[in-house]
Structure 1
Amino acid sequence: MTAWLLDPEVLHLNHGSFGATPAVVLEAQQRIRTRIEANPTRFFLEGEYQERLDCTRHAVAQFVGADPAGLVFVSNATAGVNSVLRSLEPSLMPGDEILVTDHEYNACANAAVVTASRAGAVVTTVAVPFPLENRSEVVDAVLGAVTDRTRVLLIDAVTSATGLVMPVDELVAQLEPDVRVLVDAAHAPGMVDFDVTELGASYVTANCHKWMCSAKGAAFLWVRPDRRDGVHHAVVSHGCNGGWPSQGGHLHAQFDWTGTHDPSAWLTVSDALAAVEAMHPDGWPGVKAAIRELCLGGRDVLIEALGIDPAAPADMIGAIASVPLPPADHSGSAIFDPLMAALRERHGIEVPVFTWPAPPDRVLRISAHLYNRQSDYDRLAEALKAELR
């Protein structure tokens, strides 16, 4: 735990919500901030900012299999989704459809609703079963909802509430280029093998502050070459008329400078990649294998404790997994179940318990990263038995 600043008095099983940043990365971020504050004019106007940003961009692009020309930084995956959807509004006609699943992250589903309302389009929500037995149930459900008016599919690479690794590769292969696929890969890089170019989707956005463990506020958006000219930042700024930067292509002009902000989280993503890679003798492949093994082992412990069957096959699990809990309709409106607070206050365990998909149904979601141990999930199982008896 010494590599992290996490409170040792709390059992942290919720990496998936906000990530956790190694201490050395936060130290690097503070050095960048100090450098900026020493002379902001020099840093931003004499090329240092752009040079550092381009270096970081190349490191992230290499990590996710992207070309740097198509990769830009945003504050989080939700911002990336919003920028793409706002850019698509002029091309949508009344009656056109944006497709989402009922596992879609709420913030991004909201963005789809707002875009549809502006364009006179509609959002169609596809019901994907949970529990489920195989990937084909997702593929069949989504493809079965596609019509001749479907223009966009917005889909998670790894779902937030249910922790499913979705078959986005199969869906992209079936739908592109007729239906543009926007992949919300908030959880994917650093958790599962993920190559955006090989995937072939029109748009991919993902967080760096989750499984890549950067400082909070770092994410990227990648756009396929044939879609780049049509994408603009949701914040209109200097790049719209070539004001900043003067070179680097359309996407970089739109996203690299949208006004004064703290870019330190972006500029230390490469530090995070190096820090986490060094935590395992096999580097990033070893990290991903280790955290997945932890998660699957933890899920097995919970399944046995609850006396239930697995809610999804192992090949749809990365480093987060959800297990259904006995129904408990406490408030009818709260997103987080009171059991979450009970586990924190009485057992010192930080783990999310969601009302999902609607009361009285709920799920508990575990995460795994290198600061976790298998015994952590044994402790959670015992706490659950005490709270659910």
Structure 2
Amino acid sequence: MKDKDRASHFNPNPSPFKYLWSLDPKVTFLNHGSFGACPIAVLSFQQQLRSQLEQEPLRFFTREWEPLLDGAKSRLAAFVGTDVEDVVFVPNATTGVNCVLRSLIFYPTDEILTTNHEYNACRNALDFIASRTGAKVVVAQIPFPLDSPQQVVEAVIERVSPKTRLALLDHVTSQTGLILPLQELVQQLQARGVDTLVDGAHAPGMIPLNLREIGATYYTGNCHKWLCAPKGAAFLYVRRDKHSEIRPLTISHGANSPRTDKSRFQLEFDWMGTDDPTAYMCVPEAIAFLGSLLPGGWDELRQHNHQLALQARQLLCETLEVLPPCPEEMIGSMAVVPIPSVLENRNFLSIRDELFDRYSIQVQMVPWQETPKLLLRISAQIYNTIKEYEYLGKALRELIAESGG
């Protein structure tokens, strides 16, 4: 469909905050959760750093790079509630998961526990490790829809055995948008002698995060999603007593560095070869920028996005005549709505593409293993408005009517 045809459907009243991003004004963008979106001001700051790098590369990497990186780590560590010595930068949360899994030694007698909601990329990494080591992947079946967080705890703990060595858990599930009761899960697993690796890809910036309180053995999260840093910025937290066991995927100069002012854990992850480190260095700028948008700072921003997600979910459930699949307490800034059965036979990609091609709506469609077979996942960022979800509801009603619903 031509752009001029799309424009007739487009919501004419976008949020004034949308102009702080370089998002296409012709697109109703309701999928912040997939890849995030970086504000113009943060991208401008990154360009300044890139210019600084390219004007004098040797000076940048020998004099300016490490202080900038250390400053960024310090600000991030404070934001996620941990000590700077225990956190390092990685390009994305999937890399963080792989670093831990590839570093640990598993045996054929070991079991690695995960859930049926685990992100596909990380589940693939888990299966790869199992195929190499002979360890067994055990999957806890968390029901969906569900009525309470306690169902998650029961499903996971039920699958723990004396052979369970590690549990790989999402903090916020990608497919179903659920905030899992992570602290309780970590405590119960630790009481049974099981270490935890948390895929917190969506958590930083979406929900308050205090890694000291959570107590996970390993935790990785993205900065490019709800923190709105540039693509290529994420972190890996490793509990202090486990530093010596975890190595980066790329072994470089830090492996035999004679320096004693930093741990090998820091030295190895800080330098894995020449790349563009500016995304990491923009994390403090992103934290400051997003925190300046509302008078109440980050607390108000998270609450605003949470309330918008709840309001949008309710609107869409009423529009589609379906029930909310989980309690409000398990939702952050993303929410899932079941798609009526009349569209279940449609490929999820074809529906997503049709929403974009006909209506200029970007939203995530998710295939699910059981009924409901098809899920709509919406994201709520400060640049979104409730009118955009109303527009999405009307578009879906048209598709349903055309399918005989």
TM-score of the alignment, normalized to the shorter chain, above 0.5: yes
CA deviation profile, 1:152-191 (whole Å, cap 9, x unmatched): 1001000001000001111101011611100100000111
1:33 paired to 2:47: no
Identity %: 45
CA 1:86 to 1:155, structure 2 compared with 1: closer, same or farther past 3 Å? same
CA contact (8 A) 1:13 1:368 kept: yes
Say which of 260, 275, 279 aligns to 1:261.
Answer: 275
* Amino acid in the other structure paired with 2:270: D
Say which of 214, 224, 231 aligns to 2:246.
Answer: 231
CA deviation profile, 1:291-330 (whole Å, cap 9, x unmatched): 0000000000011011111100000000001111134455
* Amino acid in the other structure paired with 2:80: V
Q: TM-score, normalised by structure 1?
A: 0.95
Matches within 5 A, 1:269-280: 269-280=283-294
Mapped to 2, the partners of 1:20 and 1:197 lie a distance apart of: 28
Could you say which residue in structure 1 is the equivalent of 2:221?
206
Mapped to 2, the partners of 1:102 and 1:167 lie a distance apart of: 16
- What is the SS of the residue equivalent to 1:337? helix
Could you say which residue in structure 2 is the equivalent of 1:378?
390
Mapped to 1, the partners of 2:275 and 2:212 lie a distance apart of: 29
Moved more, 53-62 or 113-122: 113-122
* Amino acid in the other structure paired with 1:339: I
Could you say which residue in structure 1 is the equivalent of 2:67?
51
* Amino acid in the other structure paired with 1:367: S
Q: 1:360 deviation in Å? A: 8.2
Unpaired runs of 5+ in structure 1? none
CA contact (8 A) 2:338 2:372 kept: no
Could you say which residue in structure 2 is the equivalent of 1:346?
358
Mapped to 2, the partners of 1:78 and 1:249 lie a distance apart of: 24
The runs of at least 4 aligned residues of structure 1 exceeding 3 Å deviation read 327-331
Mapped to 2, the partners of 1:108 and 1:254 lie a distance apart of: 23
* Amino acid in the other structure paired with 1:310: P
- What is the SS of the residue equivalent to 1:124? strand
CA contact (8 A) 1:246 1:253 kept: no
1:23 paired to 2:40: yes
Could you say which residue in structure 2 is the equivalent of 1:10?
27
- What is the SS of the residue equivalent to 1:220? strand
CA contact (8 A) 1:337 1:362 kept: no
CA 1:172 to 1:360, structure 2 compared with 1: closer, same or farther past 3 Å? closer
- What is the SS of the residue equivalent to 1:198? helix
Q: TM-score, normalised by structure 2?
A: 0.92
CA contact (8 A) 1:295 1:367 kept: yes
Say which of 308, 311, 315 aligns to 1:297.
Answer: 311
Could you say which residue in structure 1 is the equivalent of 2:11?
none
How many residues are treated as equivalent by the alignment?
Answer: 382
Could you say which residue in structure 2 is the equivalent of 1:364?
376
Mapped to 2, the partners of 1:250 and 1:66 lie a distance apart of: 19
CA deviation profile, 1:321-367 (whole Å, cap 9, x unmatched): 11111344557xx6x43111111111111001121226981101000
Mapped to 2, the partners of 1:212 and 1:360 lie a distance apart of: 31
Q: 1:247 deviation in Å? A: 3.4
CA contact (8 A) 1:98 1:122 kept: yes
Could you say which residue in structure 2 is the equivalent of 1:286?
300
CA contact (8 A) 2:316 2:393 kept: yes
Unpaired runs of 5+ in structure 2? 1-17
Mapped to 2, the partners of 1:31 and 1:214 lie a distance apart of: 15
- What is the SS of the residue equivalent to 1:382? helix
1:60 paired to 2:60: no
Q: 1:122 deviation in Å? A: 1.1
Mapped to 2, the partners of 1:113 and 1:253 lie a distance apart of: 29
